């Protein structure tokens, strides 16, 4: 018996699809003519057999429904006109609909041909293997944008049921090298704009024991135009943070002060969101470790509709000496690696306190929290995972990270570190679950 059968080769391939399918999604899978019957039975979803040697238009015109997700399984690489194919297919996407392009990694072209010659793999049609990174240029030319990209399946053999275990280990070890046999690119319509949209804005400032920073912080927030509001969410402080907050005024925006009912930074943010109706929401730490003037750049990306969520990153520029302790720096980089590995998007910083996002993401956060069923004490991971899980476009913006001049951090690196590890484990499982 061949060590590598068609069924075994497709098993992990098809289980990968489930990571991109949300509850109640209308899903269509397009496969080439002759796809394994075992594959079809395993998927139990709408499947369209495509004969790419025949007229593309007539086959796509048979589609009458609109879909939330269209999966192209080993289709584009055997298509003679990729751009035309995608242009025709996108008409069948719902608003915010996505296309998952599943392909063979071109670096595996020679090894897979060898497997076929040795009768360890079923022979496949001649194909032009798609390079993961270079293909993004093609997508851009047809008005599609990449939400995430990843490669999977390093070990294509069953090997007495050990293949799955080996694959999971290798995927973790070599994720960023993009060496996997299978590549997966998630795309949607590019909604970027050159004309700014005048969204209402809310800046949320979680503040606990920050009385010495608040006045300067508010003074340095730039004039972001009309319909701008600052919400200072005050926790239980040992100093006069609440009193100082209530005494602050501004000529540029309205200021609202709320008192937290539940402790913790995440709760400070969620309660603030509930108290306002701004269409674009920013989170800005009160310690002035990030220049408040930078907010203008964050809001501009959203206003031009280039992204749904802009995540600050402190790990691009050199930071001020003492701004981040060595152990915290190492921990942040480890967390960043795990988050990137999980969501299939190479982020450089997952715990930066400066973030700007569309209000619509908040409902996704609530849904994600009920799914993962564990607590993120800061809310950073909730935002990132919910955005990635719901197909929102995430961009990073480098910021200069500075040493705080008043007060001290509220983070307990051991207690909070444990909570974050627990959260990441459950999130990784959820993203990689085949159920």
What is the per-residue pLDDT across 77-90, written as a single tens digit (0 to 9) for each? 666 667 778 888 88
**Cα gap 248→257, rounded to integer Å:** 10
* Of the candidates 242, 225, 224, the residue with the CA atom closest to the CA atom of residue 233: 242
Residue 319: how many other CB atoms lie within 10 Å: 17
Fold exhibited by the domain 6-189: Rossmann fold (3.40.50)
Which residues, listed in sequence order, are joined to residue 281 by a DSSP beta bridge?
202, 357
Q: β-pairing, 309-313 with 355-358?
A: antiparallel
Residues of the chain with pLDDT under 70: 1-12, 34-44, 52, 77-81, 120-134, 137-138, 140-141, 156-161, 171-178, 192-195, 407, 409-414, 432-435
**Cα gap 103→78, rounded to integer Å:** 10
Residue percentage of the chain with pLDDT more than 70? 81
Name the H helices within 306-379. 326-343, 360-372
**Cα gap 402→319, rounded to integer Å:** 6
Per-domain residue ranges for the chain?
Answer: 6-189, 201-432
**Cα gap 382→399, rounded to integer Å:** 21
**Cα gap 25→319, rounded to integer Å:** 43
The top-level CATH class assigned to 201-432 is: alpha beta
In this prediction the pTM is 0.66
The predicted pLDDT at position 279 comes to 94
């Amino acid at each position: 018996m061949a060590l590598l059968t068609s069924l075994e080769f497709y098993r992990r391939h098809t289980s990968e699809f489930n990571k991109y399918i949300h509850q109640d999604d209308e899903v269509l899978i397009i496969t080439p003519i002759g796809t394994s019957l075992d594959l079809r039975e395993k998927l139990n979803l709408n499947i369209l057999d495509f004969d790419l040697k025949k007229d593309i238009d007539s086959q796509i015109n048979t589609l009458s429904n609109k879909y939330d997700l269209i999966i192209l399984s080993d289709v584009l690489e055997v298509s003679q006109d990729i751009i035309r194919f995608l242009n025709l297919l996108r008409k069948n996407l719902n608003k915010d609909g996505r296309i998952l392009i599943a392909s063979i990694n071109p670096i595996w072209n020679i090894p897979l041909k060898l497997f076929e010659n040795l009768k360890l793999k079923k022979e496949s049609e001649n194909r032009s293997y798609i390079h993961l990174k270079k293909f993004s240029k093609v997508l851009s030319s047809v008005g599609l944008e990449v939400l995430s990209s990843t490669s999977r399946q390093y070990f294509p053999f069953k090997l007495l049921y050990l293949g799955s275990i080996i694959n999971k280990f290798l995927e973790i070890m070599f994720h960023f090298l993009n060496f996997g046999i299978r590549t997966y690119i998630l795309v949607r319509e590019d909604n970027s704009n050159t004309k700014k949209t005048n969204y209402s804005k809310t800046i949320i400032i979680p503040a606990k024991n920050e009385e010495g920073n608040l006045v300067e912080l508010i003074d340095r927030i730039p004039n972001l135009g009309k319909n701008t509001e600052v919400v200072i969410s005050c926790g239980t402080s040992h100093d006069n943070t609440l009193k100082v907050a209530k005494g602050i005024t501004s000529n540029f925006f309205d200021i609202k002060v709320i008192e937290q009912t539940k402790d913790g930074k995440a709760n400070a943010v969620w309660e603030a969101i509930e108290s306002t109706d701004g269409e674009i929401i920013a989170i800005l730490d009160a310690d002035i470790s990030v220049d408040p003037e930078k907010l203008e750049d964050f809001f501009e990306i959203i206003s031009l509709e280039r992204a749904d969520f802009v995540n600050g990153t402190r790990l691009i520029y050199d930071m001020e000496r003492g701004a981040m302790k060595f152990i915290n720096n190492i921990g942040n980089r480890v967390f960043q690696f795990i988050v990137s590995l999980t969501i299939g998007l190479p982020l450089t910083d997952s715990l930066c306190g400066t973030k700007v996002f569309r209000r619509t993401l908040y409902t996704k956060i609530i849904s994600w929290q009920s799914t993962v069923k564990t607590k993120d004490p800061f809310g950073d991971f909730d935002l990132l995972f919910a955005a990635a899980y719901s197909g929102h476009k995430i961009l990073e913006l480098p910021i200069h990270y500075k040493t705080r001049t008043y007060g001290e951090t509220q983070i307990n690196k051991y207690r909070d570190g444990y909570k974050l590890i627990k959260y990441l484990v459950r999130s990784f499982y959820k993203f990689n679950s085949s159920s």
